[in-house]
Amino acid sequence: MVRRLPASATAGLLLAALLPLAACGGGAKDRPKTDLAASRVTTIGVNAYLWRASLDTLSFMPMVQTDSNGGVIVTDWYANPGSPNERMKLTVSILDQDLRADALRVAASRQVNQGGQWVDAPVAAATVQKLEEVILTKARDLRRTAIG
């Protein structure tokens, strides 16, 4: 024999069961906001701040390849108008999803024009280091701006 509860008892039990859940929901204003400026941004394969900062920093150079999932930017040869007998080519690799100094690697190639021929020349280590510093600083600024 199945015994049915009166409608008022059923409503009371349902209300008692739902009240604790209502306290958990709160309003939208009570919910923690998503940290849009987290050090790990994964909408692309690599850290978005490093990616954006790299593209912004190298925007004056012609791009050959940009792969946001693999985190690789390869530029074409670029000759500074103030020094037309010298040209540079860069490869930027973003190695991680975290905004860290060791998540960025810049490789540079340099050539000089000798008698109409482009000849490989050494790149000063300070050049690569300075580029990495510029990109990292810009990435940190982008993150700081996103925090607001």
pLDDT in tens, 16-60: 544 444 444 544 455 444 454 555 555 678 999 999 999 999 999
Q: Could you tell me if residue 35 is inside a domain?
A: no
CA-to-CA separations, 90 to 12, 118, 129, in angstroms, rounded = 71, 16, 13
Q: Could you tell me if residue 11 is inside a domain?
A: no
Enclosing domain of residue 114: 40-147
Instruction: Check residues 140 and 37 and name the one with the higher pLDDT.
Output: 140
Number of neighbouring beta carbons within 10 Å of residue 105: 13
Q: Could you tell me if residue 95 is inside a domain?
A: yes
Q: Which percentage of the chain shows pLDDT scores above 90?
A: 68
Statement: residue 1 has pLDDT above 60 = no
Separation of alpha carbons 132 and 57, rounded Å? 10
Statement: residue 83 has pLDDT above 50 = yes
Please state the domain count of the chain. Answer: 1
Q: Could you tell me if residue 75 is inside a domain?
A: yes
Q: Which residues pair with 98 in a beta bridge?
A: 40
Q: Could you tell me if residue 99 is inside a domain?
A: yes
Please choose, from the candidates 74, 66, 76, 75, the residue with its C-alpha nearest in 3D space to the C-alpha of residue 46: 66
Q: Could you tell me if residue 21 is inside a domain?
A: no
Please choose, from the candidates 96, 94, 120, the residue with its C-alpha nearest in 3D space to the C-alpha of residue 108: 120
Statement: residue 128 has pLDDT above 70 = yes
Statement: residue 7 has pLDDT above 60 = no
For 107-116, what is the mean pLDDT?
97
pTM, two decimal places: 0.70
Separation of alpha carbons 26 and 18, rounded Å? 13
Cβ-proximal residues to 83 (8 Å cutoff; 6+ apart), any chain: none
Q: Which residues pair with 90 in a beta bridge?
A: 108
Q: Could you tell me if residue 76 is inside a domain?
A: yes
> What is the sign, positive or negative, of the torsion defined by CA atoms of 109, 113, 116, 119?
negative
For residue 138, the number of C-alpha atoms closer than 13 Å in the C-beta half-sphere is 17
Q: Which CATH number fits the domain that encloses residue 116?
A: 3.30.530
Q: Could you tell me if residue 135 is inside a domain?
A: yes
